[in-house]
Amino acid sequence: MAYQLPGWAALAPTLTFVAAALVLFLIDSIDPDSENRALLAGTATVGSLVAAGFAAWFLIAGTGEEPFTLYADSLVVDSMSLFFAFVFASVTAMVVVASYDYMRDHSYQGEYYALVMLAATGMTLMPAANSLAVVFISLELASLPSYALVAILKKNRGSVEAGLKYFLIGALSSSILAYGISLVYGVSGTLLLPEIASAVEIEGLTGVLGIGVLMILGGFAFKTASVPFHFWAPEAYEGAPAPISAFLSSASKAAGFAVAFRVFTVAFPVEAYVATIDWVLAVQILAVVTMTLGNFAAATQDTVKRMLAYSSVGHAGYALIALASLTGTGSDQFVLGGGMAHLLVYGFMNTGAFLFVALAEYWSVGRTFEDYNGLAKQAPFACAAMTLFMFNLAGLPVGAGFMSKYFLFAGAVGAGFWWLTAVGAINSALSLYYYSRVVKAMWIEEPTQEFAIESKPVGLYAAIAAAAVVTVLLLPGFGPVWAFAQDAAAALV
Amino acid sequence: MAALPFELAPAIAALPFVSFLIALLVGAFAPRLLPKGGAIPGILATAGSLVLSVWAAVAVWNHPDGMYHDSITWVAGVGDAAFDLQFGILLDPLSTMMLVIVSLVAVLVHVFSLGYMNDEGETGLPRYYAGLGLFTASMLSFVFASNLLMAFMFFELVGLCSWLLIGFWFREPGPPSAAKKAFLVTRFGDYFFLVGVVGVFATFGTTAFVGSESFPILADQVLAGEGASVTTFLGLDPQAWFSVLGLLILGGVIGKSAQFPLHTWLPDAMEGPTPVSALIHAATMVAAGVYLVARIYGFYALLPQVMALIALVGGFTALFAATMGVVKREIKQVLAYSTISQYGYMMLGLGAGGYVAATFHLMTHAFFKALLFLGAGSVIIAMHHNENMWDMGGLKEKMPVTYYAFLSGSLALAGIVPFSGFWSKDEVLYEALVHGLESPILLAAYAMGLLAVFFTGFYTFRMVFLTFHGKPRTDTARDPHAVGWNVKVPLVVLGTLAAVAGLVNMVPVAEVTGIHLEFLHDWLDAGPEALTAHHYADLIPYASGEIGSPLLTVLLSAGVSLGLALSGAGAAWLLYDVPEPIRHTDRLGRVKTVLFNNYYQDEFQVWLANGVTLPLARVADKFDQGVIDGVVNGVSSVSLFSGGRIKRIQTGVVSNYAFLLTMGLVVLLVFIGVTGGWF
């Protein structure tokens, strides 16, 4: 390249989100009661797509192959941060496009999109954080707009209650995270992740450091909705506007994993910590409990959205396998890459599933499984897409959901944790039960009600179609995804 | 950039595939636009394949390496111990020879179908020609496949087409049932084949046929202790494990080539249209099994036990099927059993170390058996689709072209000098004899093959005399339906080939006169070193013996088999070449009943299904319903119950959440702290 971009340009995805948020604030301050949904949603969409484009461009151009650090090492841009930036930006784009229809009759349009952009800014910063201070700030930057977004339907009691609960649990978790960071800092005397790694050698302070490590783990468990920090998730996902549920359960969860991957592999490397502070064992316990509890609870739900909420808890358990199978040996890259690839695919299929729920809410179809009966006769395309998402979430080979889960499980087996895979496989089998309930209701059952489907909202359909197409195309195109995921994992281990 | 004929090689299979698509799509959406119900595109496509195949064969002959090999990866392996899945084309003397045979028979069968199907006013012609096109494409792809997995995939497609075409007249009761039987029986064999393919992958990491990394070469190196390493399973040493793999692949071969005990589907497959029988169940698809063994002969030649088994199965099948052919009433049934019997000879030849001999017989048999089936088809047209030979007689004068062509094929089948079948069958038996002199198992197989020669001569000429000689025994036979040019031309072409094709490899004459006449031998020796006949000759685990001198052995072998063939034919002549033949086989009494019922093989298989498999399946079902489902139901009710419990944890009260969250963290902290020894 003839012209060398300045170093800060590597943060282009993040900066694009910031810029989009500022533009939205500008529009909102000029015309506070703007009903121009096309302008607002359009600005946000353009911002997300440009951010995704930057991330993809950097990934393909190989910008992250040599990680480079910014601002006194507090930020690092490498393949891994770009990979996740791409995931968040894609999910954000789909969510914003879908919101164009979903938020049709609601006020606070400008604030809504601006908050989404700010949350996305925080998320793209999280995987790039190279210092515990930035970890905390970016996590809060992603969380605080999320609380407001969950509660944005001000006249809906469910939404407001969910937002408040989310905020309270979030505050508790943040305090645990902050306390954990302070303990680790107290032992190691530094906030930079690579330097913390040697803190374990300090004699006599192992217990303090260990408590700090586990508290940090707890803070991340909140973000990823892992048991026992998951309590907010079913309520928040159910009460929030469905596009926001999609946003939180896909992008926000992936952000939590991204930051956890980096912090735990760089600051607390397994080979050094496993003897005294066996956080891998803790993650294994969390993974098993999260998978099992999420799937068991999902099996007994009556409403589709809440079922998806619990299934998303279950998927957090699968993704935790990537962290729980680290051994400090050569198998780490494979399983970590498997986890990242799964999060990417999950970003599309889970977003798609929640957006279908958004579509059902848009049509006022109802919330329970029975309300979906016979929907396929009215909306065959959307129902076909939903069927695809359900089967992919269950891990059937109709899309990339099978491949990513397969590689994740194969990685765990390769690392010697076949029992984690066995628990995951049993849970996947159970998940097929409740996912297929949706499919059965849509396609096989006779309708119990008259659907009042007057229009087919373009934005929602476009977002669902995009999610479906990507989910399917990633099956044949899994090769490049896998290559990028492996690069991203190689940046860490 | 390879030479042009090699670049065009994919088109050999692609052309019939296009004709399949045309017949299917145009036939479905615009049937009026389809000339002759799809026959014309089919004829053009297969003729194109024939031209390209001949061109490729010439190019292989002129190529310094004697082969062309190219492949693409369609699934790339991931991880350390991974292997790629590939599609490839391997053109060498063996495969190009087979390509020429398959495409030639396919062209002739397409032409013949004009007379057999179009002129007879059959409906559903696009479906018929689509089936033929897809079959030809799959078979050609199978032939030039460069690895075992690709071969397996097209092997299966070929089986599918066979199923479609046997059941072509699906409104009658017989064909669908026969199609199902053919499908299930061959599938049973293919199941072992599939396991074998996976086994080969797991063992060698490749299934390529050719190249320094091909699995026959690797197996050779391992057995010779030359460095190459493979993974074996079940705790077997390489020799034993390779034998297991060889036997697994042989399962597919035995099913497809209708060898004992999986031969029962082939006689039933005669329910399909006669051109289909000629193309699929005589000349090509059934040959796929034998061809596969020839293709990986470098692997089988390393396994003496498997080779002996192949020879024994082949020899036994040759005799066993020939005896059943003696009593059949219907012309196509006789041909069906003779097909099984002749493929037995090929297996005998392969198992006895006669690679060239078996390939030679594969070639001559393709010609004369396609000829006989098409001749039978011609007779069936003339007889208004009555296939019972006892209703025929005296057709010689009415249809001379069919008669002389059929006679040529019969002489070849019976193995009468100088027709093609004599040379190839004699070479198979000669190989079995010389190697059998040092190996009693092979000698037993040889004895069975030799005895079958007599029966072959007998049933062949019984068929000829009953059909064409004597006085007409029914009104239809007195006034047969005329057949057109489209029936006669294929008969003439194949009749000529059946007469002269044997001249390409006249081993006995060469031995006696010293003139070089073993052209097929030269041809099969022209390929790359690892696929040549002399390389296989070095590999085979047999020593050669002789009776007196080599010359005497050759003459003795040829003389004995010719004598037996002539005596069989003579017996038939005595008994059946009379104006009013009677059912001499009735004198066999209960033996005839046994033979007529095919040694109760079908009944035995039905009993196996009903008497053994079904009760076992019932027990398994009981176990499944009771124990497995019980556990599964238990798990699901436990999970639903505990799911309900979990739901109750989610009280909706935030302070409960905060309490549980904190407690959870504390429990985790204490647990990890205690195991880590912090306190």
The β-bridge partners of B89 are B70, B145
Helix, strand, coil percentages for chain A (3-state, nearest 5) = 75, 0, 20
Residue A31 lies in a domain: yes
Residue A48 lies in domain: 7-490
What is the pLDDT averaged over residues B156-163?
A: 90
Please indicate, yes or no, if residue A87 is contained in any of the structural domains.
Answer: yes
Q: Closest Cα of chain B to A391: distance in Å?
A: 19
Which of A150, A161, A213, A231 to mutate to test binding with chain B, by most B CBs within 10 Å of its CB?
A: A231
pLDDT value at A155 more than 80:
yes
- CA atoms within a 13 Å half-sphere pointing along the CA-CB vector of B204: 25
Give me the mean pLDDT over the B402-425 stretch: 87
In chain A, which residues have their Cβ closer than 8 Å to the Cβ of B654? 164-165, 168-169
- How much is the average pLDDT of A145-159? 89
Query: What local confidence, expressed as pLDDT, does residue B301 receive?
Result: 87
Whether A447 is in a domain gets the answer yes
Q: Is B650 on the interface with A (CB under 8 A)?
A: yes
Please calculate the CA angle A195-A228-A200 and round it to the nearest 5 degrees: 20
Yes or no: say if A278 and B672 are a contact pair by the CB < 8 Å rule: yes
What is the structure's pLDDT at B13?
87
Q: How far is A479 from chain B (nearest CA, A)?
A: 9
Kindly state the average pLDDT of the residues A333-350: 91
Amino acid making up residue B494: L
**DSSP string covering B179-195, please?**
HHHHHHHHHHHHHHHHH
Q: Do B646 and A207 touch (CB under 8 A)?
A: no
Q: What is the pLDDT of residue B2?
A: 66
* Cis amide linkage into residue A127, ω under 30° from 0: no
| Averaged pLDDT, B36-50 | 85
Structural tokens at position A323: 């962290």
Report long-range pairs for A170-173 (Cβ below 8 Å, ≥24 apart).
A170/A143, A170/A222, A170/A232, A172/B658, A172/B661, A172/B662, A173/A218, A173/A219, A173/A221, A173/A222, A173/A223, A173/A229, A173/B661
Helical segments of B236-296, H only: 238-256, 265-268, 274-278, 285-295
CA distance A124 to chain B (A): 27
Q: Which of A46, A47, A66 is nearest to A58 (CA)?
A: A66
Backbone angles phi, psi at B73, to 5 degrees: -95, 125
Closest-CA residue to B500 (of B519, B483, B513, B515): B519
Give residue A34's pLDDT band: very low, low, confident or very high (50, 70, 90).
low
- What's the pLDDT score for residue B602? 73
Determine the Cα–Cα distance for residues A161 and B180; give it in Å rounded to an integer. 64
Look at chain A and report how many structural domains it folds into. 1
pLDDT at B49 over 70: yes
Q: Would you state the structure tokens that stand for residue B381, as one six-digit string?
A: 């047209």
Query: With an 8 Å Cβ cutoff, is B224 touching chain A?
Result: no
Q: What is the ipTM of this complex?
A: 0.86
Q: How many Å lie between the alpha carbon of B73 and the closest alpha carbon of chain A?
A: 13
Cα separation of A88 and A351, whole Å?
11
What kind and span of H or E run contains A386?
Answer: helix A380-394
Which tens digits make up the pLDDT trace of B550-587? 788 888 888 888 888 888 888 888 888 777 777 766 77
Q: What is the pLDDT of residue A116?
A: 94
Q: What phi and psi, each to the nearest 5 degrees, are found at residue A221?
A: -60, -35
Contact B676 A168 (CB under 8 A): no
pLDDT band at A133 (very low <50, low <70, confident <90, very high): very high
Does the beta carbon of B647 lie under 8 angstroms from any beta carbon of chain A? yes
Mean pLDDT lowest among A126-135, A349-358, B474-483: B474-483
Residue A207: which of B644, B663, B679 has the nearest Cβ? B679
* pLDDT of A406 higher than 80: yes
- CA distances to A50, A474, B187, B479 from A435, in Å: 34, 21, 35, 70
pLDDT at B411 over 60: yes
Residue B637 touches chain A, beta carbons under 8 Å: no
Q: How far apart are CA A385 and CA A466, in angstroms?
A: 10
Cβ B469 vs Cβ B393: under 8 Å:
yes
Rounded to the nearest angstrom, the minimum Cα separation between A110 and chain B is: 31
H or E stretch including B4? helix B4-7
- Cβ atoms of A317 and A427 within 8 Å: the answer is yes
Nearest CA distance, A352 vs chain B (angstrom): 25
Quote the percentage of chain A above a pLDDT of 70: 99
Determine the Cα–Cα distance for residues A373 and A432; give it in Å rounded to an integer: 18
Q: Check B672 against A278: CB less than 8 A apart.
A: yes
Q: What is the 3-state secondary structure (H, E, C) of B530-594?
A: HHCHHHHHHHCCCCCCCCCCHHHHHHHHHHHHHHHHHHHHHHHHHHHCCCCCCCHHHHHCHHHHH
Q: Would A1 be classed as within a structural domain?
A: no
Residue A209: inside a domain = yes
Q: pLDDT-based confidence at B228, cuts 50/70/90?
A: low
Cα–Cα distance for residue pair B380/B399, rounded to 1 Å? 12
Q: Does B668 touch chain A (CB under 8 A)?
A: yes
Which chain A residues are within 8 Å of B661, Cβ to Cβ? 169, 172-173, 228-229, 231
Please state which of the ranges B79-88, B374-383, B489-498 shows the lowest mean pLDDT.
Answer: B79-88
Q: For chain B, say whether A480 makes contact (Cβ under 8 Å).
A: no
**CA–CA dist B472, B468 (Å, integer):** 9
The reported pLDDT for the residue numbered B517 is: 76
Least confident of A141-145, A272-276, A308-312, B398-402: A272-276
State the average pLDDT for chain A.
88
Place of tokens 């999609």: A246
Q: What is the pLDDT of residues B427-475, one digit of tens each?
A: 888 888 888 888 888 888 888 988 899 989 888 988 888 888 888 888 8
A334 touching B, CB under 8 A?
yes
Q: How would you class B51 by CB atoms within 10 Å of its CB: exposed for 0-12, middle for 13-18, buried for 19 or more?
A: middle
Q: Which two tokens stand for residue B540?
A: 């085979």
* Residue whose tokens read 């005497």: B552
Residue A32, phi then psi, degrees to nearest 5: -60, -30
Q: Does B540 have pLDDT greater than 60?
A: yes
Residue B561 has a pLDDT of 86
B19/B24 Cα distance (integer angstroms): 8
A2 in any annotated domain = no
A46 CB burial (10 A radius; 0-12, 13-18, 19+): middle
Question: What span, in angstroms and rounded, lies between the C-alpha atoms of B43 and B40?
Answer: 5
Taking CB atoms and an 8 Å limit, are B663 and A276 in contact across chains? no
A168 close to B (CB below 8 A): yes
In this prediction, residue A1 has a pLDDT band, given cuts at 50, 70 and 90, of: very low
Q: Any chain A CB within 8 A of the CB of B81?
A: no
Tell me whether residue A205 is in a domain.
Answer: yes
Assess B653–A contact: CB distance below 8 Å, yes or no.
no
DSSP character at residue B31: G
Q: Do B668 and A285 touch (CB under 8 A)?
A: yes
Q: Which structure tokens are listed for B287?
A: 């040959």
The pTM assigned to this predicted structure is 0.64
CA distances from A83 to A116, A393, B58 (A): 20, 21, 54
B261 preceded by a cis bond (ω within 30 of 0): yes
Average pLDDT over residues A39-49: 90
Query: In chain B, what residues touch A414 (CB-CB under 8 Å)?
Result: 79
3-class SS of residue B455: helix
Query: Which of 416-475 (A) contact B at CB < 8 A?
Result: 430, 433
Say if residue A187's pLDDT is above 70: yes
Strand partners, B75: B85
CA–CA separation, B480 and B468 (whole Å): 12
| Least-confidence region, from A80-89, A203-212, B577-586 | B577-586
Residue A91: name the closest of A362, A312, A408 by CA.
A312
Contact B662 A172 (CB under 8 A): yes
Residues of A in contact with B651 (CB under 8 A): none
* Nearest residue to A381 via CA among A474, A468, A473: A468
Q: Which of B169, B128, B143 is nearest to B36 (CA)?
A: B128
- Cβ proximity of A184 and A212 under 8 Å: yes
**Contact yes or no for B672 and A282 at CB 8 A:** yes
**Structural domain includes residue A75:** yes
Residue B527, both tokens: 């390929």
Q: Which residue has the higher pLDDT, B640 or A342?
A: A342
Q: Quick check: A210 contacting B, CB < 8 Å?
A: yes
For B617-634, how does the pLDDT look when each residue is reduced to its tens digit (9 = 90+)? Answer: 888 788 777 777 777 777
